Amino acid sequence: MKSSKIALPLTLAILGFFVFVPMLSAFEFSIRTPAKGGYGWDNYIWAVTEEEFLHYIFRSGGLAFLTVLITLLLLVPTITWLHLVQSPLRVAIDTVSLLPLVIPVVAFAVGAQISLPEFIQSTVLELPFLYFVLALPYAYRSLDIGLNAIPLKTLTEAARSAGANWVRTITSVIIPAIRSSVMATIAITFALSIGEYTLTVLLHWDTFPTWVTYVAQDNILGAIAISMMSLVIPFVILTGITLLLPERSNRGRR
């Protein structure tokens, strides 16, 4: 019993060490001011005053938001249907969802791009669809685990017998019941999309990660400061959404 109580804090401490120590080291490096000596916020001020900083951060943020939207719209109804009908296709779809992990990004970028409609291929809007495929292995399993943990059939039948249509059932019953899995899916998809570099470069688009690589040639400390902000800002936004959602759901019940 005592060992189980110690195991969780110890595991969290080890994980925290591997996650936060590199971040703290990068932060310490980003506030150095070699010209003046000591520390300061010069690199962060330089970053936010760069002419294209807001343009690219809003572009990548918008693309990440579209990717999250596409992921939820496609996966939540699909996985729900697979669970309800116990389709034999579920095993095949489980296997297909793992393919982005084994297909080289170079082959994926070229093959997936030409499969999209031509009017999308010529715009940056092709990236959210490709980001969705890259995030598929993680998003699919996150939602699958959430749906396995609830009495899905009972909830669905109760909602349908109360007169709710399928859209209302999914949005008002199923998604709140798997809120933690949905939030994990949003976090994973958003983080992967806003930080994707290889696919974006191969398709010759400019986003926030590619812009950071470009400005790093002139100011490496400034580039690290930009990278720190790109890590912290999404983390704060997603944490805020996670903390606010339960409060809103409780208000709705009242």
| pLDDT reported for residue 143 | 92
Bridge partners (DSSP) listed for residue 39? 32
Residue 36: pLDDT above 80? no
In three-state secondary structure terms, 33 is coil
Nearest to 108 by CA among 135, 69, 89: 135
CATH classification code of 50-253? 1.10.3720.10
In this predicted model, which residue has the larger pLDDT, 37 or 44?
44
Dig out the tokens for 89 from the structure. Answer: 């296709």
| pLDDT reported for residue 3 | 62
Region class of 164: left (phi > 0), else alpha (psi between -120 and 50), else beta: beta
- Helix pair angle (220-253, 53-85), 10° resolution: 40
Residue 170: pLDDT above 70? yes
| pLDDT reported for residue 228 | 82
| Domain regions of the chain by residue span | 50-253
Question: What is the Cα–Cα distance from 65 to 63, expressed in whole angstroms?
Answer: 5
Mean pLDDT, residues 19-43 taken together? 82
In this predicted model, which residue has the larger pLDDT, 246 or 195?
195
Bridge partners (DSSP) listed for residue 32? 39
**pTM of the full predicted structure?**
0.81
Asked if residues 43 and 31 have their Cβ atoms less than 8 Å apart, the reply is yes
| pLDDT reported for residue 253 | 42
Q: Which residues contact 170 (CB under 8 A, 6 or more apart)?
A: 76, 77, 80
| pLDDT level of residue 247 (50, 70, 90 thresholds) | very low
| pLDDT reported for residue 4 | 63
Q: Exposure of 31 by Cβ count < 10 A (0-12 exposed, 13-18 middle, 19+ buried)?
A: middle
| pLDDT reported for residue 42 | 85
| pLDDT level of residue 244 (50, 70, 90 thresholds) | low
Residue with tokens 């940056």: 124
Residue 132: pLDDT above 80? yes
